[in-house]
Structure 1
Amino acid sequence: MSLPLIMGCLWVIAATITAMLPMKQQMVPGMTLLVLAPVLLLWIGLAHGLLWVALGLFAFVSMFRRPLIYFARRVLGLSVEVPAELQK
């Protein structure tokens, strides 16, 4: 197995562990994973081709759909709801 795929597997394990954390403790590791995902997908794509990027992108969007929707709504200037657990 190649290094990009091993790193992808570790990213998935880290994302799973992050999802098990309480909501307030998910922010920093979740944002880190969100930022690292495109770099990792590009690395996998360069090493293995577009099919693996497509599969990885599908998994990424599935796992991070709510944060991606939140950021898309903010960029488009639409109203956003912050979960009650994160409100101060």
Structure 2
Amino acid sequence: MNLALGTAFLWLIVANVAAMLPSKDHHWRRAFALIVVGIPILGWVTWTAGPIWGMVVLAAGASVLRWPLIYLVRWLRRKAAEPAE
């Protein structure tokens, strides 16, 4: 296993531990921090291990951060449904 995949695995462990801890803001601050750290790790994994592993890490990250992803899709649908000015 190369260093990029090990870092992605460590990110997944940290994300799951962060999800288990109580939070007053429903974990949004932690989710944003995980996104900011996770995007460069995803690029690094894709660059060093290839696109297949990049897609695997992307799917794992999307499963951990599913609610921010759901809210993003809902927001994009609302924006697409708005009439053009």
Give the TM-score, by structure 2 length. Answer: 0.76
Q: Which runs of 5+ in 1 are unaligned?
A: 79-88
Q: Number of aligned pairs? A: 78
Aligned to 2:71: 70
Instruction: Check the 8 A contact 2:12/2:61 in 1, yes or no.
Output: no
RMSD (Å), alpha carbons = 1.8
Which stretches of structure 1, 4 residues or longer, exceed 6 Å deviation after superposition?
none
Deviations 1:38-85 (A, max 9, x none): 21111001101011011111111111111111123224437xxxxxxx
- Trace 1:36-47 onto structure 2 (pairs within 5 A): 36-47=37-48
Give the TM-score, by structure 1 length. Answer: 0.74
Percent identity at matched positions?
35
1:6 and 2:6 correspond? yes
